[in-house]
Amino acid sequence: MRIAVFGAGALGSVFGAILSRKNEVLLITRGEHLRAIKERGLKVEGHTEGIFHLPAENHYPGGYELIILTVKAYQIKDVVNDIRKEYDGEPIITFQNGVGIVDLLKNFDVIPGVTTHGATLLSPGVVKHAGIGDTYIGEKKGEISERIVHIARNFTECGLKTEIVNDIMERRWIKAAINACINPLTAVLNVKNGELLDEKLSKIVKCVADECSEILAERGIIADIYSLAMDVIRKTKENNSSMLQDIKRRRKTEIDFIAKPFIKKRCNKVLYHMVKFLESRLRDSL
């Protein structure tokens, strides 16, 4: 299969490397990361290791059978304009954090996805596969289509175990809620995920989780977000969350797609505004 990974930063690069074992993969990225991949290849460390000599471009050239979208959520509108130039109806799997992404891609053939794999960009051309997680894909309406079966089998044979589910949109909301419990707090405190296991901080996690569970229940989604979040924290205790990585690199975060949809009472609202403050302070210092 010819696969284009649009937004080949940390996670996209890891996925591209893994999928290149049985597919023709194009990485779409930019800046120093793009130059390094073109000159030296993509180096992956951690749970996946090796140097992968993959073609890389800064735009989508068209002609691929599948697009995997791993850009930041706030970059979707710009990406839509880029893809549209050469788009010919090929399916797009979206793995962004947060909710509202599928709606932004309503004019494309979208396959929603969820993944809990962890990845870190160490330096241009070098990424770390920091944590092995679960990957799910499914059709928006829940049917088990032939193409979903084919894609999941392909990914799994490459080493990226992928499960087909009929409730993918619910899972995206649950994943966003779990991220809301972890990412903003680690970004504000500048700590690894595992620090949230501390008794005092876990109480804040519980406050956020309870608010998220309330919002989900209003949508008919029943989930114990606190237990799920604490399980992810334990499994990824050595990881820096993607939001903390963004703050450290002085980049905009995905806070509007992760925490904002769950603002109901105090905890999510406080963390949301604290992250927005960090963003503005970093922006002003540039």
Residue 210 to residue 216: CA distance in whole angstroms: 10
Q: 75 CB contacts (<8 Å, ≥6 apart)?
A: 7
Residue 172 to residue 159: CA distance in whole angstroms: 22
Confidence of residue 283 (pLDDT cuts 50, 70, 90): low
Please name every residue paired with 119 in a beta bridge, in sequence order, or none if there are none: 129
Cα angle value 270/253/214 (rounded, 5°): 45
Q: Is the pLDDT of residue 3 over 70?
A: yes
Instruction: Sort strands 118-123 and 126-131 into parallel, antiparallel or unpaired.
Output: antiparallel
97-125 pLDDT tens trace: 888 889 889 889 999 999 988 888 999 99
Longest pairwise C-alpha distance within the chain: 52
Residue 180 to residue 196: CA distance in whole angstroms: 13
With contact defined as beta carbons under 8 Å apart, do 129 and 44 qualify? yes
> Which residue is it, tokens 């008794």?
199
9-34 pLDDT tens trace: 999 999 999 999 999 999 999 999 99
Residue type, 285: S
Nearest residue to 66 (alpha-carbon basis) of 147, 138, 12? 147
Q: Which residues are catalytic?
A: 175
- Report the predicted TM-score, pTM, of the whole model to 2 decimal places: 0.88
Domains and CATH numbers, the chain: 2-166 (3.40.50.720), 169-285 (1.10.1040.10)
Residue 141 to residue 148: CA distance in whole angstroms: 12
With contact defined as beta carbons under 8 Å apart, do 138 and 112 qualify? yes
Q: Is the pLDDT of residue 286 over 60?
A: no
Nearest residue to 210 (alpha-carbon basis) of 197, 221, 223, 219? 223
Structure tokens at 49: 């290791």
Helix (H, G, I), strand (E, B) or coil at 253: coil
146-197 pLDDT tens trace: 999 999 999 999 999 999 999 999 999 999 999 999 999 999 999 999 999 9
Structure tokens at 240: 């820096």
Structure tokens at 202: 């876990």
